[in-house]
Structure 1
Amino acid sequence: MELFASPLQTALLKALDAAALRQRVIADNLANVDTPGFKKGVVRFEEELKRALNVPLPLKTTDPRHFPSPVPLEEVSPRVERDYFTSMRADGNNVDVDEQMVNLLVNALSYHALTQVVAGRYASWHYVINGGR
């Protein structure tokens, strides 16, 4: 275990990874806006993270009929899903430029907020390690 590892730190770093992946997926969606048959990608992460963070204690299953334990926080990772069920145009492409631009802005703001929180935590550690100087 790392010296400064905590569930919060792990969640923050995983959220940064998810935001970086989301940025790449949105860029891919926008790059393929005119590609016939292209289906947009969507990053799924927050739901799984929420489930992993809302578990008070790890569950032990002793019988196959027990509810499965949620994924441990260390194993939570973002995943890209393709939306095969919608179409925006007759050629089968379902990329909405306006939607993608809003997603891009929201993701940029989220990434900025996450980096500020992580930087603040590192600054606090730096302050403590240096004895308040």
Structure 2
Amino acid sequence: MDLFGNTIGTLEKSLDYASAKNRAIANNISNADTPNYKAKEVVFKDVLQHSMENLEMKRTHDKHLSYAHNDSSFQTITKNNTTYNHNGNNVEIDKEMTELAKNQIYYNSLIDRINGKFGSLQKVIRGGN
């Protein structure tokens, strides 16, 4: 029995994405002065688009929806095509700090949403009190 539909699973995957993105950004910031370090980025849309193009399920009825499934909806890539610093490093610290702030807001909103779901469940279990 699934109490929330697919909401908790979706929120869990979103939290995984936000955590992976935070690790990549933190790695970039900590290596901002490392010679020849190439910045990493967590991408989502590219992987989704790629999986939708390459996977087609057999539909036995016209009203069946197509289905695309990928265990990992994001991946971490290395940006090798640019160099910004004299030492071969391509980390833009201002951009990384901005991305970190945006990702923290996104992560916190996910946590608030999942807390709301569990709060609703608690309320039902207690009988509406």
User: Would you say same fold, with TM above 0.5?
Assistant: yes
CA contact (8 A) 1:49 1:76 kept: no
One-letter amino acid of the counterpart of residue 115, structure 2: A
- Post-superposition shift, 1:128? 1.2
**Alpha carbons of 1:8 and 1:50: their partners in 2 closer, same or farther (altered >3 Å)?**
farther
- Kept in 2: contact 1:60–1:69 (CA 8 A): no
- 3-state DSSP of counterpart to 1:80: strand
User: In structure 2, how many angstroms separate the alpha carbons of the residues matched to 1:9 and 1:17?
Assistant: 12
Change (3 A) 1:129 1:121: same
Structure 1 portions without partners, runs of 5+: 53-57, 63-67
Verify the 8 A CA contact 2:47 2:75 in the aligned structure 1: no
Question: Does the CA contact (< 8 Å) of 2:29 and 2:93 recur in 1?
Answer: yes
**Structure 2 letter corresponding to 1:38:** Y
- How far apart are residue 20 of structure 1 and its match? 1.0
Question: Which position in structure 1 is the counterpart of 2:127?
Answer: 131
SS in 2 for 1:60: coil
Q: Which residue of 2 aligns with 1:92?
A: 88
8 Å CA contact 1:22–1:42 kept in 2: the answer is: yes
**Residue pair 1:43, 1:80 contacting (<8 A) in 2 also:** yes
Equivalent residues in 2 for 1:62-81, closer than 5 Å? 70-72=68-70, 75-81=71-77
Separation in 2, partners of 1:31, 1:127: 43
TM-score (norm 2): 0.79
Residue 110 of structure 1: which of 98, 106, 112 is its match?
A: 106
Measure how far apart 1:76 and its partner are.
3.3
CA distance in 2 between partners of 1:59 and 1:129 (Å): 40
Q: Distance in 2 between matches of 1:61 and 1:44?
A: 30
Q: Which runs of 5+ in 2 are unaligned?
A: 61-65
Q: Which moved more, 1:38-47 or 1:91-100?
A: 38-47
Instruction: Say if 2:24 and 2:41, in contact at 8 Å, map to a contact too.
Output: yes
Q: Secondary structure at the match of 2:81?
A: coil
For 1:124, give the aligned amino acid: S
Deviations 1:78-112 (A, max 9, x none): 31100011111232210000000000100000000
Q: Deviation of residue 8 (structure 1)? A: 2.3
Alignment equivalent of 1:60, drawn from 52, 58, 61: 58
TM-score (normalizing by structure 1): 0.77
Q: Percent identity of the aligned residues?
A: 31
Opposite residue 93 of structure 1, the aligned amino acid is: N
